[in-house]
Amino acid sequence: MPNGQRQHVIAGNWKMYKTIQETEAYVRELTPLVADSDVSVFLSVPFTAIRSASEAAKGSNIHIGAQNMNDASEGAFTGEIAGTMLVEAGANFVIIGHSERRHIFGESDAFINRKVKRALDDGLIPILCIGETLEQRDSGSTEAILKEQLSQSLADIQSDQMSKILIAYEPVWAIGTGKTATPDHAQEVHVFIRETIKELWGEDDADKTTIMYGGSVKPNNARHLMEQPDIDGLLVGGASLTVESFSHIVHYQNALTH
Ligand code: PGA
């Protein structure tokens, strides 16, 4: 778990896949395969599976989290979920501002900012997702968009809180499309993100922030991505759905092809 230093994290984001039974079987199978890994292993599972996943993962090095939460502590918000409920169910972290939340469900940076603050108050590690669309990339506005998302989604976040937040750069055009950013390109963008953190919070925070890459990460590209000096972790969607491919990504160092 985040300890105020940059760390290597491999996180699975299951999205709307897997029942409770499927989750238990997956975690049981994954546990021995990643027991010797020196990266932190995170699994972001559906709300209904958090409790059983965290019970199945007890005593292992797998951390269980959620994919979303509301910004309020409780209230008349039909269909929403509070951070305290996630913690009680066994979640350690929560993905906030995933592009599917931003684009399909219309979440704004201001809403995402309130969620990040609530997650921190509730004791959850937020993984804040940022990323440009293809259109924004083609029009040359990637950096402006990332800077806006960072400064607005993390508005009023203090330096001591930055050490508890993980950032995931997920170019929207690379999510679920099979088109990964090349490791060099991803590295360049990560450097820009780190520079922006430096500008907004200072050099110390910039050096310590874990910045993950996401978007069509597979067993055969994980190693090359992780070899980049500013890519500290990976957020994996489709390839986290089978134990086989996810465990290969966790053990990216052993990959022959890259
Ligand atoms: P993908 O998804 O690996 O299937 O591209 C990544 C994500 O959405 O977090």
**Biggest distance spanned by C-alpha atoms of the chain:** 52
The pTM of the full predicted model, rounded to 2 decimals, is 0.96
Angle between helix 50-57 and helix 20-34 axes, rounded to 10 deg: 30
Give the number of the atom of ligand 1 that is nearest the alpha carbon of residue 236: 3
Catalytic residue among 63, 98, 190, 224: 98
> Which of 188-194's residues contact partners 24+ apart within 8 Å by CB, and which partners?
189/142, 189/146, 190/228, 190/230, 190/231, 191/230, 192/143, 192/146, 193/130, 193/146, 193/150, 193/167, 193/169, 193/230, 194/230
Q: Return the H-helix or E-strand segment holding 229.
A: none
pLDDT for position 256? 66
pLDDT for position 258? 42
Using CB distances shorter than 6 Å, the residues near ligand 1 are: 13, 170, 175-176, 214-217, 235-239
pLDDT tens for 185-222 read 999 999 999 999 999 999 999 999 999 999 999 999 99
pLDDT for position 213? 97
Q: Give, for ligand 1, the residue of 217, 241, 246, 248 to mutate: max count of ligand atoms closer than 8 Å to Cβ.
A: 217
Q: Give, for ligand 1, the residue of 170, 180, 218 to mutate: max count of ligand atoms closer than 8 Å to Cβ.
A: 170
Residue-level pLDDT, tens digit, the chain, 258 residues: 666 789 999 999 999 999 999 999 999 999 999 999 989 999 999 999 999 999 999 999 999 999 999 999 999 999 999 999 999 999 999 999 999 999 999 999 999 999 999 999 999 999 999 999 999 999 999 999 999 999 999 999 999 899 899 999 999 999 888 888 899 999 999 999 999 999 999 999 999 999 999 999 999 999 999 999 999 999 999 999 999 999 999 999 998 654
pLDDT tens for 142-174 read 999 999 999 999 999 999 899 899 999 999 999
pLDDT for position 28? 97
